[in-house]
Chain A
Amino acid sequence: MSTINQRIEQELIGVAKELLASKKVEALIGYKRGTMPMTMTPFVARSSEEAEKLCWNSFCVLNLANYLPQVLRSFEPPRRPNDPPPKGPLPKVGIVVTGCWSRNIVVQIQENQVERDRIVIIGISSRGMIDKKKVHERVGGKEVTNVEEEDNRLIVKGPGFSKEINRWDVIRDNCKSCIHPDPSIYDILIGDLKGDRQISNRFSQVEEIESKDIDERWQWFMDEISSCIRCYACRNACPLCYCPTCFVDDSRPQWVGKSKEQVDTALFHILRAYHCAGRCTDCGSCESACPMGIKMRILTKKLQKDVFELYGFEPGLNLDEPLPLSTYRLEDPQDFILTDIKMGDKK
């Protein structure tokens, strides 16, 4: 067992029990152990006894901010879609966050999905989460029945084998390219802050695709999404996707076909990615949730790169900094807009 995680877990359970017992929060969103190795189950503790189930390790791959709006809503009196929000102090909800999850909460606050004074944020600086697909690759696709995590290595066991894997080798791509492991917003901190990480090029995965010519890029994209089953795990694992009716579910008008036809699948992935521009924190939830191993995260990473290059902006670092795509400033860059003149030039 990893001593680092053990310490965090113990402290987390203590903090959670206190918050729940003293009614400072009505519920607390964290993780409990799943039944499968390397899979954790998001968990809402509603009493200090339930808080005993909370745990922490490097397999907490889904973004808990995704659950926040609905758990908050569950403590509000029922209301119809167009009714005004209820008045008066409402029960608070606690949530465990790492760097990227906290940045998503900042975006949720900025987009009026979550009220800051109704949440108690427990921050943990992330050491990077593990990609279980990479672990499966390392053991040649053999069945894994048990994984022990130590501070810097994993002991992976299955029928007839036991293998030691360096932890950092199987860390998710998004975590490897993350420079902000610390929570940007928190009320209670567990463990120490690590400060920003130095990375030579955090967009290298995107640049590799960008360096291909246009046909190769299209081929890469079509190959990547060819196994998509349209289960929408990527969309549903994403804290940015909170529209009451998603564009893929709309039937009047119908924006996109519903079945596994390639053109529809392509449209879904492109539009989903674009909706995340300037908002995505590269938490990697989408990719971790995908049952078919699609690297759709590279699409949102590309948009993250574009927004960073155009506006010098990274979402969720600062509550007071407006989201670039929902704000207009005179000095906003415009050279990516296809004007009549430019299109005329192309002819």
Chain B
Amino acid sequence: MKDFTINKPQFLDFLNRLKDSFDIYGPSKTQKGFYDWTPIEQIDEFKIGDGIPKSSIKTFLFPQPETLFEFSTNSKDPAAYRLKEPDVKGKKTILFGVRPCDARSIVLNSMPYVEDVYFQKRLEQIFVFGLLCKEGCSTCFCNWVGGSPVGTDGMDVAAIDLENVYVLRAVSQKGEELLENAGLSEAKKEEKEAFNELVEKSSRQTQKDTSNILKSKDLFDLYNAPFWQELSDACINCGTCTFLCPTCYCFDIQDEVLKGKGRRIRYWDSCMFPLFTLHASGHNPRGDKLKRVRNRFMHKLKYFPDRFGPISCVGCGRCIKECPVSIDIRQVLRQMLEI
């Protein structure tokens, strides 16, 4: 395996050189004072903050909104009422500074979206430059849910942060081709060793993937568990957790028509919202808050593992940090494991 190295002050220049062929985004401090995904044109200083950016990378694969097709309702238009495919492909995009939790969300979301042409087309265009974690935040729990702070799932290039340099390692064919042709110098022996050492050190830490325990639980025991009441008492049913979550991928669809021009869009939906499962008949199988709150956790921690294997959570901790009422998915997970 060939590793490359680049001095930190040159890293932004390196990315800027790729600007003609790629749209490039990285975590940068916004006007509001937090780190979030920012186009490279607006990044003056290359500084990846501690922890994760405010929003997840799902915006790039699952945009808010995604135009599914366009149409004209003007009968004089020769193409009236014909569906026009949108340009999904667009320019190739590099996301740099992606943490292992966020990168792994791509792998998890690809499972239900395996046949989704929009998601898959966007995925082809995206290059994930990951940055492995040397230490976690107090809200990180990737190793409870099958991830690792040094995991490279979903990445094309994995980087580690040594004091003055980044050591880059290709972890996919796409990444390999990109690095080989980028004119970078090869990593020194001790840099390679530092990379391997970080990976080994983190891998030695206890991994407690809880998906198998959850899969072994009886679905209705979990469904009827007593703790949902207290949990849902506090919930205000906003969409903060679902919209910041890298693995919440539910959507709703709507036609927007204005002055004879129309488009069908899909946009993020949240199981917290009362409209989420409202039927045309007026019946809503998840008509009250408890049922909606329960669905969020049951989907991630039970239905998804039962169907696809892993837990649909990467342990990034965004929902824990931002929940206005401090609902903590780690606590819910613990409670579910105790049932």
Q: Considering only CB atoms, which chain A residue lies closest to B289 in the complex?
A: A70
Tell me, yes or no, whether B309 is within 8 Å of chain A by CB: no
Q: How far is the CB of A232 from chain B (nearest CB, A)?
A: 5
Q: Scan A144-172; emit 1 where CB is below 8 A from any B CB, else 0.
A: 01000000000000000000000000000
B14 CB within 8 Å of chain A: no
Which size class do B's interface residues fall under? 35 or more
Known: A41-B325, A229-B243, A230-B243. A66 touches B236 (CB 8 A): yes
CB distance from A70 to the nearest CB of B (A): 8
B267 to A289, Cβ gap below 8 A? Answer: no
Chain A residues, Cβ within 8 Å of B326: 34-36, 39-41
Interface string of B302-331 (1 = CB under 8 A from A): 000000000000000000111111111011
Q: Which residues of A have CB within 8 Å of B242? A: 231
Bound CA span A257–B266, Å: 12
* Residue B212, interface by CB 8 Å: no
A231 surroundings in chain B (CB, below 8 A): 238-240, 242-244, 270
**A-contact 0/1 string along B117-145, CB 8 Å cutoff:** 00000000000000000000111000000
A223 to B240 alpha-carbon distance, docked (Å): 20
Does B51 make an interface contact (CB < 8 A)? yes
Q: Please tell me if A85 contacts chain B, counting CB pairs below 8 Å.
A: no
Give the nearest-CB partner of B269 in chain A.
A258
Interface contact A227-B32, CB-CB below 8 Å? yes
A143 at the interface (CB under 8 A from B): yes
Interface residues of B in 4-59 (CB under 8 A from A): 30-34, 36, 49-51, 54-55
Decide if B325 touches A42 in the complex (CB within 8 Å). yes
Q: Return A11 CB to nearest CB of chain B, in Å.
A: 23
Other than the known A41-B234, A223-B31, what 14 A-B pairs have Cβ atoms closer than 8 Å? A36-B139, A41-B325, A41-B326, A42-B325, A43-B233, A62-B236, A145-B138, A232-B273, A251-B254, A258-B65, A258-B254, A259-B64, A289-B238, A293-B34
User: What are 27 A-B interface contacts by the 8 Å CB criterion?
Assistant: A36-B326, A40-B326, A43-B230, A43-B234, A62-B324, A62-B325, A71-B233, A143-B137, A227-B32, A229-B239, A231-B238, A231-B240, A232-B239, A233-B324, A235-B238, A237-B236, A249-B273, A258-B254, A258-B267, A259-B265, A259-B267, A259-B268, A260-B64, A291-B322, A292-B54, A293-B32, A293-B34
A-B CB proximity, top 8 nearest: A34-B326, A259-B65, A233-B238, A289-B324, A231-B239, A39-B326, A291-B322, A259-B267
